[in-house]
Amino acid sequence: MSNFDNPFADPSVQDASKPQLAPAYDDFNPFAQMNQPTPQQATTDGQKPLGGAPAPRPVDTIPPGVPAPPTAYTQWENSAAADDLRRRQEELERKAAELERREQEMQRNLQYQARVNNFPPLPSWCPVQSCFYQDISIDIPMEFQKLVRVAYYFWISYSCLLLLNLVGSLTYFIATIHNTISNQSGVTFGLSILYLVLFVPCSFVCWFRPVYNAFQKDSSFNFFVFFFIFFFQFCVLIIQCLGIDGWGTVGFLSSLKLFSEAKNAGTRAAAGIMITIGVIFALAAAVNIIILLKVHRIYRSTGASFAKAQAEFSQGVLSNRSVQQTVGNVAASAARSTFEQNASGTNR
């Protein structure tokens, strides 16, 4: 067979079948160019880009889905939110402790089946014992406790003011006892003693206990009793601050009269004490009207009315056993007397 008849004898076919071309294909790597560092990467690794140009500043890029680092404003906002949450937690803990204490107090009261009177606080050896039970933190709802405490402190202040009026009336009496000044200091001093003994318990029973019971029981009737008597208390304070001579208090009028007729320094000092007491009476009248307006505002917001007060009064009177017995006895006596009159008229 000749070379013409053999197809593999062709030189091009023989060159293609030679193994020396295989390593050229084996050295080819398509990813070699991708693995070469870019100018930015070279700069990051501490290398300079080609051509000696200065390395560009790397750009901070945040991959998607990764949260941004906290800024100063975000940190301040988180701190404020944490402080607010801490304050709320402390307030809730305080309220929880208050509720727990009130619950324990109520359980103790239920165990004794009756609350022991604790006001006025008198020693055990005293023959007269306490007449009322008073605990503002237990009986009064939390939102009204501050106002009831203010009313209680006002009653204490008014009691001290009556005692101060007694001292001022005594000073007035001593300053004028050897003078020829026409006055009624003796009558004023005597009435000041009566006012101290009478007004202190009456003010507690007549206007402080009604406002205490009004907030404790949400009673419209007690609200109306408080409004009527406390307004009368305001009128009394206005008269007391005037200090009309012979009316039991010292104030502006009696002190000005004494100061105008004073002949020595002692009398002028007594007049100064009297006018100071008159100013305190005037301030007490101002506080009185402020408390009255605040209680009235709360009363209007509770939905109470005069009709509700009448219903509470009638229900309380009719359900009272003593009142029922009294009414029954009066009705029986009236029926008996009518029967006897009719029987005597028939016999005639």
Alpha-helical (H) ranges within 17-71 are 22-26, 39-44
Task: Specify the residue for token string 């944490």.
Answer: 82
Q: For residue 132, what are the β-bridge partners? A: 119
% of the chain with per-residue pLDDT over 70: 59
pLDDT at position 221 over 50: yes
* Range name among 33-37, 121-125, 168-172, 175-179 with the lowest pLDDT average: 33-37
pLDDT at position 298 over 70: yes
Three-class SS of residue 132? strand
Average of per-residue pLDDT values in the chain: 75
Please report the pLDDT score of residue 323 as a whole number. Answer: 43
pLDDT in tens, 222-261: 888 999 999 999 999 999 999 888 898 998 998 888 888 7
Q: Is the peptide bond before 120 cis (omega within 30 degrees of 0)?
A: yes
> Whole-angstrom Cα distance, residue 130 to residue 117?
6
pLDDT at position 333 over 90: no
Please report the pLDDT score of residue 256 as a whole number. Answer: 87
Map out the domains of the chain as residue ranges: 143-320
Please report the pLDDT score of residue 329 as a whole number. Answer: 57
What is the pLDDT averaged over residues 98-106? Answer: 76
Structure tokens at 276: 């100071």
Structure tokens at 178: 């050897």
* Range name among 50-64, 121-135, 245-259, 296-310 with the lowest pLDDT average: 50-64
The Cβ of residue 221 has, within 10 Å, a number of other Cβ atoms equal to: 22
Please report the pLDDT score of residue 22 as a whole number. Answer: 47
Q: Is residue 262 a contact partner of residue 274, using CB atoms and an 8 Å limit?
A: no
pLDDT at position 306 over 60: no
Concatenated DSSP letters of 211-230: HHHHHHHT-HHHHHHHHHHH
Please report the pLDDT score of residue 45 as a whole number. Answer: 47
Angle at 152 between CA 315 and CA 228, to 5 degrees: 45
DSSP label at residue 336: H
Q: Global pTM?
A: 0.60
Please report the pLDDT score of residue 249 as a whole number. Answer: 92
Q: Is residue 168 a contact partner of residue 277, using CB atoms and an 8 Å limit?
A: yes
pLDDT at position 278 over 90: yes
Burial class (CB in 10 A: 0-12, 13-18, 19+), 206: middle
pLDDT in tens, 179-201: 666 678 888 999 999 999 999 99
Could you tell me the pLDDT band of residue 153, with boundaries at 50, 70 and 90? Answer: very high
The torsion region of residue 243 among left (phi > 0), alpha (psi -120 to 50) and beta comes to left
Could you tell me the pLDDT band of residue 79, with boundaries at 50, 70 and 90? Answer: confident
What is the pLDDT averaged over residues 171-179? Answer: 82
> Whole-angstrom Cα distance, residue 333 to residue 92?
62
Task: Specify the residue for token string 């205490």.
Answer: 212
> Whole-angstrom Cα distance, residue 190 to residue 197?
11
Q: Which residues contact 157 (CB under 8 A, 6 or more apart)?
A: 284, 287
Q: Which residues contact 257 (CB under 8 A, 6 or more apart)?
A: 183, 245
pLDDT at position 161 over 90: yes
Could you tell me the pLDDT band of residue 50, with boundaries at 50, 70 and 90? Answer: very low
> Whole-angstrom Cα distance, residue 97 to residue 104?
10
pLDDT at position 271 over 70: yes
Please report the pLDDT score of residue 335 as a whole number. Answer: 56
Could you tell me the pLDDT band of residue 12, with boundaries at 50, 70 and 90? Answer: low
Please report the pLDDT score of residue 137 as a whole number. Answer: 85
Q: Is residue 55 a contact partner of residue 43, using CB atoms and an 8 Å limit?
A: yes
Q: End-to-end distance of the chain based on CA atoms, in angstroms?
A: 184
pLDDT at position 157 over 60: yes
Angle at 119 between CA 308 and CA 154, to 5 degrees: 70
Q: Which residues contact 208 (CB under 8 A, 6 or more apart)?
A: 151, 152, 155
Q: For residue 119, what are the β-bridge partners? A: 132
